[in-house]
Amino acid sequence: MNRRAMRWAGALAISALALGCQQERSGLSQMVDSAVFGDAQAAPAKQLWKQRAADEPLPDGVVPLASLAPLVKTLKPGVVNIYTTSVTRPSRRRAPQGFEDPFEEFFRRFNEGNSGERRRQSLGSGFLINSEGYVLTNNHVVENATEIRVKLNDGRELEAKAVGLDPKTDLALLKLQGKQVHDLPIVYLGDSDGLEVGDFALAVGNPFGLDHSVSLGIVSAKERVIGAGPYDDFIQTDAAINPGNSGGPLFNLRGEVVGVNTAIVAQGQGIGFAVPINMVKELLPQLLEGRVVRGWLGVSIQDVTPELAAMLSLQEARGALVSAVMKGGPADEAGLRAGDVVVGVRGRKVDSYNQLSRYVASIAPGSGAELELLRDGKPLRLEVNIGYRPEDEELAQARLDPQAANDRLGITVRALARLRAQELGIDGGVEIVAVTPDGPAGRAGAGANDVIVEMQRRPIRSLKDYAAALAALRSGEMALIRLQREGAAIYVALRVP
């Protein structure tokens, strides 16, 4: 083939290739057009996807899940958004001794002639529990608020006043104000004790200001203790709870509130906590009265570890171990002793110190309660007259009052300060702050400011160590205690009462 013929053949091949590409592109375009625009003449085989008709039966093994939309529609009207305004005075910056703060002079000049007050706005959630405008939410949502505004599902905004606050359980009861407050939509309260791990849970709230957001999860755990307060008893859920959800309801699939969404784990995802609604129902009458009072025993308690159970001759590691009894308190008058293990209150089983705290707190002061104990491994029942829990400040003072000391050794102790430990050249211990002169430790020669570093050959580094060692002592036995006294170590021996 000559050169000219080869050129013609190449040109024809390129033309054929271009034509083929054009035809292929045209076919693809036709297929896309047919799929998107519904070309009636397009062959079914050229459709990009398949879609069932609404009335087409499902294949075997495919089970349709019911939608939660009808349930959500009935719940949303009873959920509200809460907006608060508070006035705060910023704390003054203080530099460590020996250092200068370059901002201190600036803030001093800036605040001259200025109160330094700042208006702070925050948001949260809540829910209506009756048609007269009572709203439940978290205490931290409205605490110190100078103005509370509540937005209903229909868009209306109403002023609200705090009726009752309880920081220890982080609950608050609000009352909507105004002539429009009547015949409002409400939610129903359920039974949180009936919840089981694995049950579905539905959270509705105002996360990040996105009102009436709904998320679905399950109950991940119950009776969680997270260190939020003395009466921790949280429902854990993986339903999405974010800032702004606080105070909102956690529903079961019956459409009943089973918890008040309260807290999240900042470092994790899918870990949220709600106050059980049964605890809320116990407190509601008191919140309505504007003040919450709680029952009190006047004891220091701790959990029973397997090690302590073995030393105390207990068959199982459960109950609340009494580590100290406050002199003159309800427990002292009833005959409780350090080393007793409370395993029941009014017929309710006690597995942990946290349970005992909650159960006693729920009993009205002045009421009687039967305690089930184990003393030296033997069962015992005591009747105690529940007292009124003092304020935290009163309790703190009582713990420091030498006359209130009534542990088994007749001493009051506290955690050893770090600087004091450095002065004495020791790693830790507990410091004696008061001694009953005619008590076992006082008669043995222990004095105020002595530091207990060892008991029965067991090192004492903290209050927890001390409480465990104290609880392990048996009546009538001799106890050997090592003290650190102004740079010198001494031993004292005493008989345990």
Q: Note whether residue 26 is domain-resident.
A: no
Based on the fold, state whether residues 138 and 233 are members of the same structural domain: no
Q: What is the pLDDT of residue 215?
A: 95
Provide the domain limits for residue 450: 407-495
What phi and psi values does residue 479 have, to the nearest 5 degrees?
A: -115, 135
For residue 144, give every residue at least 6 positions away whose Cβ sits within 8 Å of its Cβ, in sequence order, or none: 86, 88
Catalytic residue (one of 34, 125, 140, 213):
140
Based on the fold, state whether residues 75 and 167 are members of the same structural domain: yes
Q: Note whether residue 32 is domain-resident.
A: no
Q: Note whether residue 45 is domain-resident.
A: no
Based on the fold, state whether residues 147 and 200 are members of the same structural domain: no
Catalytic residue (one of 34, 125, 166, 170):
170
- Picking from 289, 317, 346, the residue at the C-terminal end of a domain is 289
Confidence band (pLDDT; 50, 70, 90) for 403? very low
Mean pLDDT of 221-240: 87
Which residue in 163, 358, 349 sits closest to 276, CA to CA?
Answer: 358
Count: domains in the chain? 4
Confidence band (pLDDT; 50, 70, 90) for 262? very high
Confidence band (pLDDT; 50, 70, 90) for 193? very high
Q: Give the span between the Cα atoms of 477 and 475, in whole angstroms.
A: 6
Q: What is the DSSP letter of 46?
A: G
Q: Note whether residue 195 is domain-resident.
A: yes
Q: What is the pLDDT of residue 251?
A: 96
Give the helix ranges, DSSP H, for 223-326: 277-289, 306-311
Mean pLDDT of 201-210: 92
Q: What is the pLDDT of residue 46?
A: 63
Based on the fold, state whether residues 384 and 314 are members of the same structural domain: yes
Instruction: Judge contact between 80 and 152, C-beta under 8 A.
Output: yes
Q: Note whether residue 50 is domain-resident.
A: no
Mean pLDDT of 217-240: 89
Mean pLDDT of 357-378: 91
Active site residue 34: no
pLDDT higher at 40 or 390: 390
Instruction: Judge contact between 170 and 140, C-beta under 8 A.
Output: yes
Mean pLDDT of 180-199: 93
Average pLDDT, the chain: 81
- Residue 6: is its pLDDT beyond 90? no
Q: What is the DSSP letter of 246?
A: T
What phi and psi values does residue 215 have, to the nearest 5 degrees?
A: -135, 150
- Of 56-70, 227-241, 344-358, least confident by mean pLDDT is 56-70
| Secondary structure, 3-state, 168-199 | CCCEEEEEECCCCCCCCCCCEECCHHHCCCCC
- Residue 228: is its pLDDT beyond 70? yes
Q: What is the pLDDT of residue 118?
A: 67
Based on the fold, state whether residues 81 and 168 are members of the same structural domain: yes
Q: What is the pTM of this model?
A: 0.64
CATH number of residue 301's parent domain = 2.30.42.10
How far CA 217 is from CA of 212, 258, 266, 421, 433, in Å, comes to 16, 13, 18, 49, 51
Active site residue 212: no
Confidence band (pLDDT; 50, 70, 90) for 417? confident
pLDDT higher at 25 or 389: 389
Per-residue pLDDT of 353-364, as tens digits, reads 889 998 999 898
CATH number of residue 124's parent domain = 2.40.10.10
Instruction: Judge contact between 75 and 187, C-beta under 8 A.
Output: yes
What phi and psi values does residue 465 have, to the nearest 5 degrees?
A: -60, -45
Active site residue 367: no
Mean pLDDT of 378-398: 76
Mean pLDDT of 130-153: 93
Q: Note whether residue 226 is domain-resident.
A: yes
- Residue 169: is its pLDDT beyond 80? yes
Based on the fold, state whether residues 123 and 146 are members of the same structural domain: yes
Q: Give the span between the Cα atoms of 212 and 484, in whole angstroms.
A: 61
Q: What is the pLDDT of residue 38?
A: 47
Based on the fold, state whether residues 75 and 170 are members of the same structural domain: yes
Based on the fold, state whether residues 82 and 170 are members of the same structural domain: yes
Q: Note whether residue 98 is domain-resident.
A: no
Confidence band (pLDDT; 50, 70, 90) for 107? very low
Per-residue pLDDT of 42-98, as tens digits, reads 455 567 787 878 788 878 776 677 789 999 999 999 999 999 998 765 544 343 333
How far CA 56 is from CA of 36, 44, 50, 470, in Å, comes to 21, 18, 13, 74
Catalytic residue (one of 125, 215, 220, 246):
246
Q: Note whether residue 328 is domain-resident.
A: yes
Based on the fold, state whether residues 238 and 283 are members of the same structural domain: yes
Angle at 419 between CA 413 and CA 424, to 5 degrees: 75
Based on the fold, state whether residues 122 and 167 are members of the same structural domain: yes
